[in-house]
């Protein structure tokens, strides 16, 4: 959820939970986040935030900062995000990540997304992960189908594919999960 303070400043709060669905639902963890964004010149945006990760036998804190910008074209929007984050917790070594995400959003009808219309959104993210003396590289591909009820109310759902741990000659770890996100701005 987001709250606009003025034309340039937004406060965003989020909540996410993860679970495994096998023969029964197994809760993994939840994440609560709070971020402040400030719009700069030329469509650039700077954000600072905090994320609290908690669940069975886990409690972590993550801080992040990012800069993002959009390139609006005739029939699509290309978005870029550069992010740095650090994760800290009891009995764990700090973890730092440098991330770049490229996103394209395209309406399924017409040249721009209007209210009560579907759209396609595709993310590709590259994450450089540093923990102690180790390094890993993760790639994420996330194709989503979205629906915009109104400019301040939309929902997106799709797949989230991740692959990592293949840089240092290890067997690659792959993960495929579903994604469902509701965006609401007040």
pLDDT in tens, the chain (186 residues): 999 999 999 999 999 988 877 788 888 899 999 999 999 988 899 999 999 999 988 999 999 999 999 999 999 999 999 999 999 999 899 999 999 999 999 999 999 999 999 999 999 999 999 998 888 999 999 999 999 999 999 999 999 999 987 776 678 889 898 899 999 988
**Stretch (H or E) spanning 172:** none
Pairing, β 117-131 against β 134-150? antiparallel
Cα–Cα dist 165/173, whole Å: 6
Residue linked to tokens 């109310």? 153
Which fold, 2-184? Answer: Lipocalin (2.40.128)
Domain spans in the chain, listed from the N-terminal domain onward: 2-184
pTM above 0.85, yes or no: yes
What is the C-alpha to C-alpha distance for residues 128 and 98, in angstroms, rounded to an integer? 5
Alpha carbons within 13 A on the beta-carbon side of 43? 9
Closest CA to 122 of 149, 106, 143, 92: 143
């Amino acid at each position: 959820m987001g709250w606009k303070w003025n034309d340039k400043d937004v406060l965003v709060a989020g909540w996410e939970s993860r679970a495994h669905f096998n023969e029964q639902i197994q809760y993994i963890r939840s994440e609560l986040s709070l971020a402040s964004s400030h719009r700069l010149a030329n469509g650039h945006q700077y954000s600072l935030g905090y994320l609290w990760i908690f669940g069975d036998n886990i409690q972590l804190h993550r801080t992040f900062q990012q800069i993002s910008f959009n390139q609006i074209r005739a029939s699509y929007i290309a978005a870029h995000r550069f992010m740095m984050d650090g994760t800290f917790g009891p009995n764990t070594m700090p973890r730092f990540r440098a991330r770049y995400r490229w996103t394209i959003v395209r309406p399924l009808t017409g040249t721009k997304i209007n209210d009560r219309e579907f759209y396609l959104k595709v993310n590709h993210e590259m994450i450089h992960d540093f923990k102690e003396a180790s390094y890993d590289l993760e790639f994420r591909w996330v194709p989503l189908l979205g629906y915009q009820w109104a400019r301040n109310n939309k929902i997106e759902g799709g797949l989230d594919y991740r692959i990592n741990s293949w840089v240092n000659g290890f067997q690659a770890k792959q993960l495929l999960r579903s994604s469902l996100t509701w965006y609401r701005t007040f």
